[in-house]
Structure 1
Amino acid sequence: MFKKILIANRGEIACRVIKTARKMGIETVAVYSDADRDALHVRMADEAVHIGPAPSSQSYIVIDRIVDAIRRTCADAVHPGYGFLSENAAFAAALEKQGVAFIGPPVKAIEAMGDKITSKRIAAEAGVSTVPGHMGLIEDADEAVRIASSIGYPVMIKASAGGGGKGMRIAWNDAEAREGFQSSKNEAKSSFGDDRIFIEKFVTEPRHIEIQVLGDQHGNTLYLGERECSIQRRNQKVIEEAPSPFLDEATRHAMGEQAVALAKAVGYFSAGTVEFIVDGKRNFYFLEMNTRLQVEHPVTELITGIDLVEQMIRVAAGEKLSFGQDGVKLNGWAIESRLYAEDPYRNFLPSIGRLVRYRPPVEGRRDDGVVVRNDTGVFEGGEISMYYDPMIAKLCTWAPGGAPGESASARLKAIDAMGAALDDFEVEGIGHNLPFLSAVMGQERFRAGRLTTAYIAEEFPEGFSGVQPDDASAGKLAAIAVLINQAIQERAVQISGTIGNHRRVVGKEWIVTLAGFEKPVALETTSDGAVIVFADGTRLAAASGWLPGQSHAAFHVGGEVMGVKVNLVGQAIRLRWRGMDVAARVRSPRVAELARLMPVKLPPDTSRMLLCPMPGVITSVAVKAGDAVEAGQTLATVEAMKMENVLKAERQGVVKRVAAAPGQSLAVDELIMEFE
């Protein structure tokens, strides 16, 4: 077994590998850029080596710098994680030349499967179902348009060396094909150093389902079930689960057998993933093979009990797999939610900054058998950089249950546990998608398992604006607001030095306003809490241990335990729960009467400005002062967190002035240009 492993990666996956290596008694080496000098993976590793400036093109994907770090630390193996050099055949070959083990597949398998054009041909020859498309290289946008038209819209434009949603666009017409080709090419060059593009038919109403394969160097290859990865945004997975609520045993077996056949066709060993597109009739088509550990591997680990990182290390060390296909048993249901540094209220645009507060839910097995797991690479006080992927953490829940097809209750239990865990997850200082993830957990369509890769676009066509409480939810939140107000008022009357005959009395009747609701309530105290009585006679028993200053607390309302985030903002009580974000105001009846007479302050008019929607770098400006623009016309391009974002005109207008230039770094809402 290896004595020392260097992890050629950063963030969450580097921390994940370190945990397993530590469990196996193996020393670890972290590498870091200028931006990651104080990162969690650097703190966790036994040794750490600086490898260059913040941009990954000058650090994490520079092979010579990684090889130099290996020499300096005498590491005898390298785990590449995912992204960066994980699927780079030249990197694996360089390690082989140095006599250092690559904890991954052989070079030839990486070469064959890393190129999506070649992999499609090999898959077809191995008897794997494939999607129709043009597998040759495409030289320019004009050729891309011709090919897309011949295949028939819609089409998927993809980077040959792509992955993680980078370098991918869906085109529904010639104009989108032309623009998508150029954007995909730019992203592919920036992310992978390889701008080759190909085009294939886009399968409508598709599900994204992938098969986890695992093989050793002795000819043993097997599959570990599937993962449902259909909840995606901009081709980036957001929520995954295992197993899939859609597959039956026959389809699962057929997909697994084809995945194994493909792996054997290229002499594959180590962990790998074969991705398929599955239509509504359970016809499946090969999409690509990822010759690395997947981001969403924890859900497979949770339903199989197999540590994939440990298996990768053992296989790389030459060990045989200790189990066969018959030994792979799927148990229970697992859900994974990716916590991203992005603002769901601003069309999921990237967010950067300092994590002023980072408090994940308690991990481990609960009394009801549910397991909560959080894989992360950040810490409270740490910085979220604009240079890397925006993922902060992967929150997973697992619920025990029977065999696939008989585990509907296990799936719902895992979803409910995820909803509660998201409620308990505190993140402050940056924009993040916790409210969005909570909203999905509560949607009936998701709970029923009716998923496609268009789920987010279909369920949130106007973007995400939060979950609006119904009358029942508003009542529960109003009850919580009354409890919080009561605690604040009772603390206030205990202030010393007050005049004896002017003692303040805490009221029992209140008007609670929140999210458009106005609820008159009366508070009745009991020996174990309180009862909130509403105007219609509804009574809610309520109790809490919340104290002023706490940002999160468990409230018992109407027999339900609610984990609610609490912030006091002026006279308002901000409550966040299950994707809802409301400002509650608790007033006496007289003060509420006067508050109705107060004028509403209007926000400033920014309709004639193009503001930077995210922190990023202006890569191009397509217009100049005096230009007339049409609705939908490209105005500027902003690059942030390895993604290219094209900003377009919402309506006709004339450019008055351009305030930003290519290469300039802008903060969120900083002015790019102004219109007449």
Structure 2
Amino acid sequence: MFKKILIANRGEIACRVIKSAKAMGIQTVAIYSDADRNALHVAMADEAVHIGPPPANQSYIVIEKVMQAIKESGAEAVHPGYGFLSENPKFAEALEAAGVAFVGPPKKAIEAMGDKITSKKIAQEAGVSTVPGYMGLIEDADEAVKISSEIGYPVMIKASAGGGGKGMRIAWNDEEAREGFQSSKNEAANSFGDDRIFIEKFVTQPRHIEIQVLADSHGNCVYLNERECSIQRRNQKVIEEAPSPFLDEETRKAMGEQSCALAKAVGYTSAGTVEFIVDGDKNFYFLEMNTRLQVEHPVTELITGIDLVEQMIRVANGEPLSITQDDIGINGWAMESRLYAEDPYRGFLPSIGRLTRYRPPAEGQRGDWIIRNDTGVYEGGEISMYYDPMIAKLCTWGTDRGEAIEAMRVALDSFEVEGIGHNLPFLSAVMDHPKFVSGDMTTAFIAEEYPEGFNGVELDEGTLRRIAAACAAMNRVAEIRRARISGTLDNHERRVGEDWNVALQGESYDVTIAADRDGATVRFADGAELRVAGDWTPGDQLADMRIEGEPLVLKVGKISGGFRIRSRGADLKVHVRTPRQAELARLMPEKEAADTSKMLLCPMPGLIVKVNVEEGDEVQEGQALCTIEAMKMENILRAERKGVVSKINAGPGDSLAVDDVIMEFE
């Protein structure tokens, strides 16, 4: 077995590989850029080598620098993780020439299947059903428009060397095809050093289901069931699960066997993933093969009990697989939620900054559930603008799908992240969405269910009452503490009343609290009662409560006259007042927000790539105004309504913060 492995990656995947390597008794070497000098993967590794400036194209994807780090450290093998150099045949070739083992497939397999154009041609020759499209190289935007029109809109414009949602656009007309081609080409060049683009038909109402395969160099190949990855935003997976709630055993077997046949046809070894589009009649079409470990691999590990990273290392060491197809079953159900540094209230645009608070839920067994959190950050660390905005992959396991979802709801509510915008509220909202809960979803789920973007969650009456009861009980605890402090100052204790008013989400509840040693009974004006228990004390930012015996986890912040409560995707101001205070509060006017309707505000920290208009131009609704690049993604900002540009405050190359005014309108 190898004595030392270098991980040619960063962030959570580097940390993930380090864990398995250490469990196998293998020493690990991290590489890092200037921006990652204090990163978690650097601290976890046995040693670390500096490889250059923050931009990936000056550090993590420069083969010569990674090879030098291998030489300096004396590593015998390299695990590439995903992204960066993981599917670069030149890197595999360089390792082979240096006599260093690549923890991944052979160079020929990477060339055959890592390139989306080549892989589709091979799949077609092998008789695999593929989505209609144009597989040749596309020279310019005019040709892209012509091809798109011939295929028929909508089309998917994709980077040949792409992955992780980078370099992908859906176009519904000629204008979007032209814009999408150029943006995809730019993103592909910046992220992968390869700007080749291809176009295929975009299948409406699809489900995205992928098969995990594992093959060795002795001719053995197995499939480890499937993963459902249909909850996507901007072609980037957000929530994954295993198994799929849609497949039956017959379809699973057919997809698995086809995936293994394809892997064997190209001499594939190591862990890989064959991705399919599946329609409503369970017809499946080959999409692509990812010749590396997938981001969502933990859900497969949770339902099979197989450590995929360990298996990859053993295969790279020349060992035959120790498992057969008959050894692989499906135990329970697993969910994965990708926690991103993205602000869901601003169209999921990237957010950067320091993690002033980062407290994931405790990992391990929790009753009948299992909680796992793969992460590459820590409290006090920074989310950089140079890399992918993923903070963590939160995974839960339950005996069935319903239990896995409930475990995820509680885990998400228990996850504390402060200092940056993040998508925790949105993830919670999805877990409660009827379509998701029923398993009735497609890759259009987010676009269809949140067409105007995510604006928070409106909680139902039952949940509001549960939160109101919890806040009333918490307020009582806080009032008792204040009364005792007051008593130490003026030699008497102020009496804490039993009657309160709780106002939240536009609702107002008059309640009476009867407390005892085990908790409190909160009685509402209509006679309904809720029993509240918990060990929250003032100052705690997380309240683990039980309402009528059922768990309710609240993130708690202090506001004047109450609490800021975040739970189940909702962000609430909860005011707990005496009856007289409530009466007076109803007379207070609401503060109006400032009018920014005549300004284009920067929705994220980023760099202006292009400004499409000039002062004095008349713009139409939907017209492109400028392009901003952040975290390797280009974002086109468009006019919300017709108007005339009166002033432009920023130009190409300018670095902007959130809410900086880019341009103004008459």
**Where on the TM-score scale, by shorter chain, does this alignment land: which range?**
over 0.9
Matches within 5 A, 1:399-414: 399-400=398-399, 410-414=400-404
SS in 2 for 1:163: coil
Matches within 5 A, 1:334-373: 334-368=334-368, 370-373=369-372
2:286 matched residue in structure 1: 286
Query: Would the aligned equivalents of 2:484 and 2:493 in 1 still touch at CA under 8 Å?
Result: no
Matches within 5 A, 1:4-403: 4-368=4-368, 370-400=369-399
Matches within 5 A, 1:547-566: 547-566=537-556
Tell me the number of residue pairs that the alignment of Structure 1 and Structure 2 aligns: 665
1:603 matched residue in structure 2: 593
Q: Which amino acid aligns with 1:611?
A: L
Query: Would the aligned equivalents of 2:364 and 2:370 in 1 still touch at CA under 8 Å?
Result: yes
Greater CA drift, 43-52 or 434-443: 434-443
1:406 matched residue in structure 2: none
SS in 2 for 1:512: strand
Measure the CA separation in 1 of the matches of 2:534 and 2:324. 51
Greater CA drift, 441-450 or 53-62: 441-450
Measure the CA separation in 2 of the matches of 1:273 and 1:470. 40
Residues 1:576 and 2:575 aligned together? no
SS in 2 for 1:129: coil
Residues 1:649 and 2:649 aligned together? no
Query: Would the aligned equivalents of 2:154 and 2:201 in 1 still touch at CA under 8 Å?
Result: yes
Query: Would the aligned equivalents of 2:484 and 2:494 in 1 still touch at CA under 8 Å?
Result: no
Query: Would the aligned equivalents of 2:131 and 2:200 in 1 still touch at CA under 8 Å?
Result: yes
Residues 1:627 and 2:617 aligned together? yes
Measure the CA separation in 2 of the matches of 1:631 and 1:357. 40
Greater CA drift, 218-227 or 37-46: 218-227
What whole-Å deviation, never above 9, does each CA across 1:621-654 have from its counterpart, x for those lacking one? 1112222211111111111111100001111111
What whole-Å deviation, never above 9, does each CA across 1:92-134 have from its counterpart, x for those lacking one? 1011111111100000010111221111110111221111111
Measure the CA separation in 2 of the matches of 1:31 and 1:227. 31
Query: Would the aligned equivalents of 1:344 and 1:436 in 2 still touch at CA under 8 Å?
Result: yes
SS in 1 for 2:540: coil
SS in 2 for 1:166: coil
Query: Would the aligned equivalents of 1:126 and 1:261 in 2 still touch at CA under 8 Å?
Result: no
Matches within 5 A, 1:400-549: 400=399, 410-495=400-485, 496-500=487-491, 503-549=493-539
Report the Cα offset of residue 559 of structure 1.
2.2
Measure the CA separation in 2 of the matches of 1:450 and 1:7. 39
Report the Cα offset of residue 503 of structure 1.
4.4
What whole-Å deviation, never above 9, does each CA across 1:204-230 have from its counterpart, x for those lacking one? 100000011111011111111110000
Q: Which amino acid aligns with 1:391?
A: M
What whole-Å deviation, never above 9, does each CA across 1:238-296 have from its counterpart, x for those lacking one? 00001111111111111111111111111000000000000000111010000000000
Report the Cα offset of residue 497 of structure 1.
4.5
Measure the CA separation in 2 of the matches of 1:271 and 1:542. 49
Q: Which amino acid aligns with 1:452?
A: T
Report the Cα offset of residue 152 of structure 1.
1.1
Query: Would the aligned equivalents of 1:240 and 1:335 in 2 still touch at CA under 8 Å?
Result: yes
Measure the CA separation in 1 of the matches of 2:451 and 2:87. 35
Measure the CA separation in 1 of the matches of 2:624 and 2:203. 28
2:660 matched residue in structure 1: 670
Measure the CA separation in 2 of the matches of 1:486 and 1:367. 30
Q: CA RMSD in A?
A: 1.0
Measure the CA separation in 1 of the matches of 2:327 and 2:583. 69
Query: Would the aligned equivalents of 2:356 and 2:379 in 1 still touch at CA under 8 Å?
Result: yes
Q: Which amino acid aligns with 2:100?
A: V
Measure the CA separation in 2 of the matches of 1:384 and 1:632. 31
Measure the CA separation in 1 of the matches of 2:482 and 2:251. 64
Q: Which amino acid aligns with 2:640?
A: E
Query: Would the aligned equivalents of 1:359 and 1:380 in 2 still touch at CA under 8 Å?
Result: yes
Report the Cα offset of residue 508 of structure 1.
1.0
Q: Structure 2 length normalisation: TM-score?
A: 0.99
Runs (5+) with no aligned partner, structure 1: 401-409
Report the Cα offset of residue 540 of structure 1.
0.8
SS in 2 for 1:490: helix
SS in 1 for 2:160: strand
What whole-Å deviation, never above 9, does each CA across 1:573-605 have from its counterpart, x for those lacking one? 011111121110011111111111112111111
Q: Structure 1 length normalisation: TM-score?
A: 0.97
Query: Would the aligned equivalents of 1:114 and 1:289 in 2 still touch at CA under 8 Å?
Result: yes
Q: Which amino acid aligns with 1:554?
A: D
Measure the CA separation in 2 of the matches of 1:213 and 1:471. 46
Query: Would the aligned equivalents of 1:483 and 1:544 in 2 still touch at CA under 8 Å?
Result: no
Report the Cα offset of residue 526 of structure 1.
2.4
Measure the CA separation in 2 of the matches of 1:287 and 1:199. 12
Measure the CA separation in 1 of the matches of 2:268 and 2:534. 56
SS in 1 for 2:489: coil
The change in CA–CA distance for 1:600 and 1:214 in structure 2 (over 3 A counts) is same
Query: Would the aligned equivalents of 1:127 and 1:258 in 2 still touch at CA under 8 Å?
Result: no
Measure the CA separation in 1 of the matches of 2:192 and 2:158. 13
What whole-Å deviation, never above 9, does each CA across 1:544-569 have from its counterpart, x for those lacking one? 21111100021121221211111002
Give the share of equivalent positions with the same residue, in percent: 70
Q: Which amino acid aligns with 2:148?
A: A
Measure the CA separation in 2 of the matches of 1:572 and 1:624. 48
Greater CA drift, 47-56 or 467-476: 467-476
Query: Would the aligned equivalents of 1:213 and 1:272 in 2 still touch at CA under 8 Å?
Result: yes
Measure the CA separation in 2 of the matches of 1:38 and 1:187. 27
